[in-house]
Structure 1
Amino acid sequence: MIKNFILSPDDIIYQIKLSCQLPDIIEAIMIRKIIADAAAQAGIKVEKSELQQAADDIRLARNLVKAKDTGAWLEKHYLSLNDFKELAEIYLLSVKLANYLFAEQVEPFFIEHRLNYTATVTYEVVLDDQDLALELFYALQKNEICFQDIAHKYIQEPELRRVGGYCGIRYRSNFSPQIAACVFTAHPPQILKPIVTHKGVHLIWVEEIIQPQLNEPLRCQILADLLSAWLKQQLEEAKIVVQI
């Protein structure tokens, strides 16, 4: 039998507690407050024209192309237009605050951490037998077999097998230190000598190493990373009193 239920704020808060989500919610609230307070102290303001662009950016990020899509998304998340406006304002304040605090630090940070932003294009097959891996490695060096043939024969996961072991564009942080040391000192295109880890024996083809450029997307990423680290520090230093 279908019944109508009315959920109170207390019901919602209690369920958040039971779901063990309260620490994450409290952290999100504190981040919002820290950003708003820091922006106010810095005299950072949001203009109406900027707010519209920020709202458009949020819609684009969530693939809300049409007005009805936005309306459905707001309804699903129990948000009003004013709530959406506040979302856009907080987003814009965070961007402006990051620029205010760290704009001059971006280039030095990039230079110091350049290796972290160097990317690589790799193909990989993980085997159980080290002798087999060495046999295949030498066969590849002699052009007796191609990497795609090895991938199709020895990769069990269907999707990875279909793309020949292609792992996409990855960064140093995506690899274990042991493998990263080999991958990022390679001279592409190069087949690496099999690397043994706890996961198995890795046969890796390094197709390309992509040197980073401090373009606008990377600049925005670095600003976001610096702001995130700053917010983490602010949270650690803050005294939080929760009244429920």
Structure 2
Amino acid sequence: MLNVMNVSQKEMIDQLKLSCKIPGLLEAIATRQIIADAATYAGIKVELEELQQAADALRAANRLIKAEDTWTWLEKHYLSVEDFEQLAEINLISVKLAQHLFADKIEPRFYENQLDYLAAVTYEVILEDEDLAWELFYAVTEGEITFQDVTRQHIQNLELRRAGGYRGIKHRHEFKPDIAAAVFVANPPELLKPIAIAQKVHLIWVEEIIQPKLDQQLRLKIMSELFSDWLKQQIAQVEIIPHFESDSYSQPVQDLLKIA
């Protein structure tokens, strides 16, 4: 037999408080209001066709292929059709506002910070013995063994070992500073000298340095960064004051909250 539990709005708000999620919720509310106000000030409007495209994009992002998928998703998140349209509109207005504010600032940002968009394809083995790391380094550079031999013998993680220590394509800021400094002056393919950091020794094979190209994907990434920075600045200038049904605390709680 299925038990039914009724949950009130007050109980939901209490749980948000006890979960320490109120600050994040308030910031999200402020963010939405800031975007709405800025869009109104800029005269940004949403056309019906644009809204339909935004709704289609929202469904695609949540893998809502069939109509029943959409209804199930709405029920799960306690949303109405009108809520769904509002969510699509908020997403669309955010994109249009970001384009309005920063479309002409993408290229300057790219060329001023071009080094930050460099990327590298690397393979890595992490050791605890620096002497062993140097021994392996010289063995590879002198052709006695291959780096693949090193990965097979010295990587414990099964999946990583199977991938030959492959770390993927990473941008400069995703590396630790000491490692980035060595990776991005390499002449691929090249095995870097062992790099010791916090009692670990990194043996890194640099396969390729990928020069940044200002394509559509990077344009969107830079615009998103600029928009996110702008929102943070706007929120920092706002004092957010929540109003609950009762802001009064019992005397024992007040005593606990006193700062000596």
- Look up the match of 2:80: 80
- Look up the match of 2:200: 200
**1:140 positional shift:** 1.0
Q: Give the SS at the match of 2:201.
A: strand
Structure showing greater radius of gyration is 2
Distance 2:66 2:208 in 1: 39
Where in structure 2 are the equivalents of 1:1-150 lying within 5 Å? 2-150=2-150
Q: Give the SS at the match of 1:121.
A: strand
Distance 1:95 1:193 in 2: 45
More deviation, 52-61/30-39: 52-61
**1:60 positional shift:** 1.8
Q: Give the SS at the match of 2:170.
A: strand
TM-score normalised by L of structure 2: 0.91
1:164 and 2:164 equivalent? Answer: yes
The residue identity in structure 1 corresponding to 2:13 is I
Q: Give the SS at the match of 1:58.
A: helix
Q: Give the SS at the match of 2:45.
A: coil
TM-score normalised by L of structure 1: 0.97
The residue identity in structure 2 corresponding to 1:242 is P
Q: Give the SS at the match of 2:99.
A: helix
Deviations 1:100-154 (A, max 9, x none): 1111110000001111111110000001111111111111112221112211111
**1:170 positional shift:** 0.4
Distance 1:157 1:230 in 2: 41
The residue identity in structure 1 corresponding to 2:43 is G
Q: Give the SS at the match of 1:30.
A: helix
Q: Give the SS at the match of 2:185.
A: coil
Distance 1:159 1:65 in 2: 32
Q: Give the SS at the match of 2:220.
A: helix
Distance 1:161 1:199 in 2: 21
**1:67 positional shift:** 2.1
Paired residues in the alignment total 244
Using the aligned pairs only, state the percent identity.
Answer: 57
Q: Give the SS at the match of 1:206.
A: strand
Q: Give the SS at the match of 1:239.
A: coil
Deviations 1:67-109 (A, max 9, x none): 2222221111111111111111111111111111111110000
Give unmatched runs, 5+ long, in structure 2. Answer: 245-260
- Look up the match of 1:231: 231
Distance 2:148 2:70 in 1: 44
**1:25 positional shift:** 0.8
Distance 1:190 1:3 in 2: 63
**1:53 positional shift:** 1.0
**1:2 positional shift:** 4.5
Residues 194 and 206 (structure 1), Cα distance of their counterparts in 2 relative to 1, 3 Å cut:
same
The residue identity in structure 1 corresponding to 2:133 is A
